[in-house]
Structure 1
Amino acid sequence: MKRIFCGAAIAVLALAGCAETQRAADTTVAAAKAQVNPTLSTSDATFMTTAARGGMAEVQLGQLAQANGRSSAVKRFGERMVREHGEANQALMALAQRKQITPPDTAGADNQQVYDELSRLRGSAFDRAYAQAMVQAHQRDLQAYQEEAQNGTDEEVRAFAARHVPILQEHLRMAQQLPQR
């Protein structure tokens, strides 16, 4: 198994000229390093790592929305992201512990870049940029959760993803209704 993963990781890293490929490779390598449980698939471990990073980012960005947003809708949405993603993060951390996965301790470089860009904005400019970022993030998250819910190999990880698909669908719908102009 180790030998197959190393070969796959080297092949993935060979394609690292593309930033998206590099991010995917970084996530897969981080998930593999975090994985202690040999019975959990690399794809399930990667999902858990990616979901943990995304959840942390949602909480941080939600706090930023409460501080920098102008519209009450953006501030309320940010508050809801802190609460609901915070709860999901706790459930995911408990699952990671049961599955012997070491969760990431940061939201990751991509999420940090979004945070840094948004942290420079205030008022209506922040509201527009935050709304766009939330639509993109929730579209990406929803796709990952749906994929895991349908194709995950670990029953508990698959069930976690399936439970959160409707929540992410609601978050996406709400983000699409935030002020975008």
Structure 2
Amino acid sequence: MRSLQFLSKPSRRLFWQVAVALPLLTGCSSGGEGTDAVEAANAQNQSKISDEDVTAKQEADAKFLVKVTGNALLEVELGKLMLARASSPIVRSYGTRVVQERLELLAALRTLAGAKKLAIPPALGEDEQAAYHEVNTRSGTQLDKQAVALIVRTQKQDEEAFDKMKDDAYDGDIRGFAAKHLPAVEEQLAAADEVADDIEDMP
């Protein structure tokens, strides 16, 4: 599996700079007291879409960006949890990979959303928070298994979403984004499945 030692020095430096900065931006909060960050982003986009009287496909474009951003934020937090508390070296190593890959995806999503003037969540939504905290209550091999299982689930959602939007997105740039990132998403899901298989027999 890929680890930080295979990254160039500039890549390693950028990775850790962003990894340190991200918790300051997101942490595990929902984006403010009484506010669900994912719902807030969807609501903001819906208001913009309603004002501009655009199509259902454009609404789907916005929901795609919100959903995959929410998943990526969750996976970063799970990766950091694996690094800190996983009992298996395989899972700890995988946690490093997850954090790196999802920080890269988040940066690309923020750039695209900014260009399209669409809102994406800056922090975990309530559903993502609940899923994270469910894993966080576990320990030992149960934490390992539940964290990996949750990442497999979210990455399957990502794969389906990217595969659909490479053909169905209204916006050409979003179609191109989905097509560009789909192979990496598929590779990452395969890696997650492999880790899940490797730890399946742990007690």
Given the two structures, how large is their TM-score scaled by the length of structure 1? 0.78
Query: What SS does the aligned partner of 1:102 have?
Result: coil
Aligned residue number for residue 172 of structure 1: 189
Give 1:61 shift: 1.0
Task: Work out whether 1:78 is the aligned partner of 2:95.
Answer: yes
Give the counterpart of 1:149 among 166, 187, 191.
Answer: 166
Greater RCO (CA < 8 Å, at least 6 residues apart): 2
Structure 2 gaps, min length 5 = 1-38
CA distance in 2, matches of 1:34, 1:164: 26
Which whole-Å deviations, capped at 9, do the CAs of 1:117-138 have from their partners, x for residues lacking one? 1111222111111121121111
Task: Work out whether 1:161 is the aligned partner of 2:178.
Answer: yes
The answer to whether the 8 A contact 1:131-1:180 is kept is no
Question: Counterparts of 1:14-25 in structure 2 under 5 Å?
Answer: none
- Label 1:29 to 1:102 Cα distance change in 2 as closer, same or farther (>3 A): closer
Matched residues, number: 157
CA distance in 2, matches of 1:94, 1:47: 15
CA distance in 1, matches of 2:105, 2:51: 22
CA distance in 2, matches of 1:37, 1:156: 22
* Moved >6 Å (runs of 4+): none
The answer to whether the 8 A contact 2:44-2:119 is kept is no
- Label 1:99 to 1:57 Cα distance change in 2 as closer, same or farther (>3 A): same
Identity within the alignment, %? 27
CA RMSD of aligned residues (A): 2.3
- Label 1:52 to 1:36 Cα distance change in 2 as closer, same or farther (>3 A): farther
Which whole-Å deviations, capped at 9, do the CAs of 1:118-177 have from their partners, x for residues lacking one? 111222111111121121111111101111112111111111111221111111111112
Structure 1 gaps, min length 5 = 1-25
Give 1:85 shift: 0.7
1:121 is aligned with what amino acid? R
Aligned residue number for residue 117 of structure 1: 134
Task: Work out whether 1:97 is the aligned partner of 2:117.
Answer: no
Query: What SS does the aligned partner of 1:177 have?
Result: helix
Aligned residue number for residue 7 of structure 2: none
CA distance in 2, matches of 1:159, 1:82: 24
Task: Work out whether 1:139 is the aligned partner of 2:161.
Answer: no
Aligned residue number for residue 46 of structure 2: 32
2:46 is aligned with what amino acid? A
2:131 is aligned with what amino acid? V
2:200 is aligned with what amino acid? Q
Which whole-Å deviations, capped at 9, do the CAs of 1:37-83 have from their partners, x for residues lacking one? 94681110111111111111111111111112111111111111111
The answer to whether the 8 A contact 1:142-1:165 is kept is yes
Query: What SS does the aligned partner of 1:82 have?
Result: helix
